[in-house]
Amino acid sequence: MADQPDRTQAPGHHHRFRVEGVPERKDSPKPPARMPGGRRFWLVLLALLVANYVIAGLVSNNPSRESVPYSYFRQQVEAGNVSEVTSTGDTIQGTFKKAARPPDTTAKASTRFQTERPAFADDSLLGLLEQQNVVINAHPIETSTPLWEQILLGFGPTLLIVGLFVLIFRRAQRAGVGGGLGGFGRSRAQLYQPDEAAKRVTFDDVAGIDEAEDELVEVVDFLRNPERYTRLGATVPKGVLLTGLPGTGKTLLARAVAGEAGVPFFSISASEFIEAIVGVGASRVRDMFAQAKSAAPAIIFIDELDAIGRARGGSATLGGHDEREQTLNQILTEMDGFSGTEGVIVISSTNRPEVLDQALLRPGRFDRRVTVNPPDQTGRRMILEVHTRGVPLADDVELDALASSTPGMVGADLRNLVNEAALTAARRTHEKVQMADFTDSLERIVLGAERRIVLSREERERTAYHESGHALLGMLHPGADPVRKISIIPRGRALGVTFQSPATDRYGYTADYLRGRLIGALGGRAAEQLVYDDMTTGAESDLEQATRIARQMAGRWGMSERIGPVSVLPGPNDEPTLFPGAGSASERTRELVDEEVRRILEECERAALAQLESHRDQLESLTRALLEHETLDEVDAYRIAGIERAPASDPAPAA
């Protein structure tokens, strides 16, 4: 393993790296793209304006009116050829029933007319109009279209389109890349500079995953002291793949590497490469690597790599073009193509490494794979210390006890626990976060929020027997997880809960331990059957959990003598399209698995009934205490049951 990097060394060492195919920074930049112009541009613009004006005139919905003499208008009224008129002042507009034109004029025949009534006329026009049943309207007369409106309708659309075109061109020019795709082809990676102290993350902010951290120390040392390796002919891994469950700290670890090395850090999610336009993803990959090479040494972090790195050829593509596969091919070329990428390290994270394309995982691309495992008890203690730095803690808070009662939780879960405890303390107006705030928040996270429903006396009593059955069998079975809390307060979808957690972390499970889990899971149903000689739907989740464990025992873990050491069922992450042989078995073998699952569950149910029947007094004691107090913690539960807690044993060795 390389020595720990010297954090006092200045990061200004970009001149140590040379990238093949990339011009030096002292080269003059490319001349900017020219704005649209020239004779052809202006001719096209003029043609568009003329066409726009002509079309606007053709589609105008306000045709002109024919001017007629007033005497001719009166003749048409008397002849009954006028259907309606509109008048404002001396101006009269109207409509003929039949198209007409005055004689000895150049006007054309039309149904729409306009005339002016002489000021000296005294001919009782209103009476004549009423006599001929002419409709007299009250709305204003129509005027000709104003000049500004003609200009707006005639030239506005074309000018707007040209303006938008120029605006898009200028924005693409400022982006500096993109070609025919404009700004679409530019990388969306966020750049974090080493001098951004507010965003800088170091290994001091990472806790509980020491093994993964040690794997990356060498990468940090290479970026800070490359001569130590290059003089011996060594090269740093081109890619580091971080795998692990969600929330284990993969992204945080990648940022800590960049913070420790003091180099630019380009961060992007794999899904941001994909767009509906074919070729955009590959263009963004090229642009991102070009930026990283120009800033070398640098780190590129691609989160959720499985979004674009899935095995190729798994499904049909439309028209032979698959944007995801083109993006993946471009990443493969950039990481191990003809051009060098010295000084640029790619770090990626994924929760599903089994679905990645094998070309990504070969040497020369992602050379090193680092598994980020959930933290153990000591790691959880360290993570809690990191997340409680800015939280005022009361004197009764014991982080060791919290770490012991949170097995299986990862960094994100523990951070959420600390935040929920702080929120709970704020609601209770505490000056500091107390241990009760942490325990109540843990119950809320693990068991669910309390439901404010009122149970009948009979249902409350049945729930108490059900939970007492779970708890008592958990106390009686040797090696079972200790009972931490029993409650008949409805939480989530359950009317009551029994919380058990191991005293130490477990990495492997024996058949005896799993049978104890099954007996405990069936304890609530067995207690109802023993007391009431009847069963309810309250054991639904218990049966689902027990069936799942029994099926894994028989079909995956070889814990059935009839089936033997054969893996019949596929793993939780196996995909039939990628692993066609995983879990393949004949129909007869699958039927045998079903028979063994039934046998295991029936044996465990009989054992649960027998144990509860022989310890009926303890079952009644726990039930009465639950009905009185509603909730029992670990100490009270064991005391009331009269059972001494067995000392914590070492976890079973991993297989």
Give 494's contacts (C-beta < 8 A, 6+ positions apart).
447, 448, 541
Angle 266-267-272 from CA coordinates, rounded to 5°: 120
565 phi/psi in degrees, rounded to 5 = -80, 65
CA separation, residue 296 to residues 253, 335, 368, 464, 586 (Å): 20, 14, 20, 65, 56
Half-sphere exposure of 547 (CA within 13 A, CB side): 9
* Cα dihedral: 374, 257, 294, 266 (round 10): 40
Nearest residue to 307 via CA among 344, 356, 380? 356
Q: Going along 292-361, which residue ranges are E strands?
A: 298-303, 344-350
Q: What are the residue numbers of the active site? A: 467
- Tell me the three-class secondary structure of 102-128, residue by residue: CCCCCCCCEEEEEEECCCCCCCCHHHH
Position 132, amino acid: Q
Please list the alpha-helical segments (H only) found in 428-495. 435-447, 457-476
Sign of CA pseudo-dihedral 267, 270, 272, 278: positive
Residue positions counted in the chain: 655
3-state secondary structure of 435: helix
Task: List beta partners, residue 192.
Answer: 265
Q: DSSP code of 247?
A: T
* Cα dihedral: 258, 259, 260, 264 (round 10): 50
Nearest residue to 625 via CA among 457, 459, 464, 498? 464
Angle 593-599-604 from CA coordinates, rounded to 5°: 130
Distance from the Cα of residue 579 to its chain's centroid: 27
Token reading at 632? 């029992």
298 phi/psi in degrees, rounded to 5 = -150, 165
3-state secondary structure of 315: coil
Interaxial angle between packed helices 587-614 and 511-521, expressed in degrees from 0 to 180 and rounded to the nearest 10: 70
Q: What is the end-to-end Cα distance of the chain in Å, rounded?
A: 28
C-beta atoms surrounding 570 within 10 Å: 17
Position 584, amino acid: S
